[in-house]
Amino acid sequence: MKTMIKAAAATAVACMCPAIAAAQALDSGDTAWMLTSTALVLFMTLPGLALFYAGLVRSRNVLSVAMQCFAIACMVSVIWVAFGYSMAFGGSALNGLVGDMSKAWLAGVGLEALSGSYPETVFVMFQLTFAIITPALIVGAFAERMRFSAMLLFTGSWVVVVYFPVAHWVWGGGWLGAMGFRDFAGGAVVHVTAGVAAVLAAIVIGNRRGFPETPMPPHNLPMTVTGACMLWVGWFGFNAGSALAADGAAGMAMLVTHVSAAVGSLTWMTAEWVKFGKPSVLGIVTGMVAGLATITPASGFVGPMGALVIGVAGGLGCFLATQFMKRKLKIDDSLDVFSVHGVGGMIGLLSTAVFSAASFGGLGLDEGVSIGSQFGVQVLGILATAAWCAAASLVLLKLIAVVVPLRVSAEEENEGLDLVLHEERGYNL
């Protein structure tokens, strides 16, 4: 069984790049699963992430956060069709740094084109949902203070300069993938990039007025819990869908994803209980997201025992990172994007090197690869991704600030972004 799952996982990783995938016949089961996974991942952003974030902010900014998630989904979709898919999954250019323009405007992606055992149109749509949720995650860092126009300029340019190239490095036949870097479903491509960009944006834009002295609790925790539940369910498409087939690899990825989410929740809850005397609803759902983010890069390579350890490491590591960022560094990453997604992604990527090994219950490392050498590749991938994302994000933020102000005025921030930017209220009570 383990041999079958390992082979299926290897086939799935190879099929991440349609250009290098071996020709196969259309499989209706794989196609149905990939269509389902695609819908699940989009469900993570709309409505999952939108509700999760909207409940966490104050009531005067609830619509602004939902609006940002919705607008990003629309904008990134158009960019993806125009040239984003080609930049991520076209033929390699510039020594594997980015895809070429051979698939711009989805050239050659027709009814008969296949990606592995399912239509390439499905692969295009599946990967689009990843491109949508990644910049949407960043919204949590500058919530309640960034101008809508500046947000559109930043996220639109960010996916082009950061997300598409990094996706090509890892999944599209680029240099990191060629080195054997392991990132099954987006530890580096999604979580590290979003986390690093988030903390840079929070620093450049500055803290919310009153932070950290003024308490800024979530205004609607039931909304946040609802969004969190949608994220948990949608994440099965995120991780198990990344097997790119309805097979044993997808089943194992789903199992370890659920285990890590559950353990991450319990670990965060326990840590909070010990430190503050009471477990909170906010803590347990945040721990769930930490467990999910941490297992993401490892989900196609580890077994249930590895998932248990990864869930504990993710829940505790992200909890400590949150406390350090807000209480020690006093950086107002409003909804803890770096602490949960950035730190969680890094922990997961490093854990992948260890728990992929058969000796730790994993599905096995590549032939001739040791835990130490794989760990070195994982470290290199994290550093390269974080460095490129940090440099590019900082430059983009500074350039955009020349065109439009990044944040609203103090008076506008006090009034709330819902009225100031959208002339609407979330609640008429």
pTM: 0.95
Closest CA to 67 of 123, 126, 151, 129: 151
Q: What's the alpha-carbon Rg for the chain, to the nearest Å?
A: 20
Name, in order, each residue with C-beta under 8 angstroms of 226's C-beta and a sequence gap of 6 or more.
Answer: 51, 55
Distance CA 403, CA 331 (A): 25
CA dihedral (333, 339, 344, 350) in degrees, to 10, reads 120
Residue 17: pLDDT band (50, 70, 90) is low
Residue 3: pLDDT band (50, 70, 90) is very low
Classify residue 301 as exposed, middle or buried by CB count within 10 Å of its CB (0-12, 13-18, 19+): buried
Two tokens at 271?
């840590």
Strands annotated E in 97-230: 98-99, 114-115, 118-119
CB 263 within 8 Å of CB 311: yes
CATH of 24-403, one of 1.10.3430.10, 1.10.1370.30, 3.90.1200.10, 1.10.3720.10: 1.10.3430.10
At residue 4, the pLDDT reads 37
Two tokens at 371?
């835990």
pLDDT tens-digit profile of 204-246? 999 999 999 999 999 999 999 999 999 999 999 999 999 999 9
At residue 249, the pLDDT reads 97
At residue 2, the pLDDT reads 43
pLDDT of residue 24 exceeding 90: no
Helices 120-138, 62-79: inter-axial angle, 10-degree rounding: 140
pLDDT tens-digit profile of 80-104? 999 999 999 999 999 999 999 999 9
Domain ranges of the chain: 24-403
CA dihedral (86, 87, 89, 95) in degrees, to 10, reads 130
Residue 429: pLDDT band (50, 70, 90) is confident
Distance CA 93, CA 389 (A): 19
Mean pLDDT, to the nearest integer, of 120-129? 98
Mean pLDDT, to the nearest integer, of 71-78? 98
Residue 325: pLDDT band (50, 70, 90) is very high
Mean pLDDT, to the nearest integer, of 264-282? 98
At residue 132, the pLDDT reads 98
Phi, psi of 171 (to 5 degrees): -110, -20
At residue 23, the pLDDT reads 54
pLDDT of residue 78 exceeding 70: yes
Q: What is the DSSP string of 348-392?
A: HHHHHHHHTSGGGTSS-PPTT--HHHHHHHHHHHHHHHHHHHHHH
Name, in order, each residue with C-beta under 8 angstroms of 64's C-beta and a sequence gap of 6 or more.
Answer: 57, 143, 144, 148, 416, 417, 418, 421, 422
Distance CA 364, CA 6 (A): 7
pLDDT tens-digit profile of 328-347? 999 999 999 999 999 999 99
- Residue 93 parent element (H or E): strand 92-93
At residue 11, the pLDDT reads 43
Buried b / exposed e along 66-96 (16+ C-beta atoms within 10 A) = bbbbebbbebbbebbbebbbbbbbbbbbeeb
Name, in order, each residue with C-beta under 8 angstroms of 95's C-beta and a sequence gap of 6 or more.
Answer: 175
Mean pLDDT, to the nearest integer, of 122-134? 98
Average pLDDT of the residues of the chain: 95
Closest CA to 313 of 263, 238, 270: 263
At residue 203, the pLDDT reads 98
Closest CA to 228 of 176, 280, 301: 280
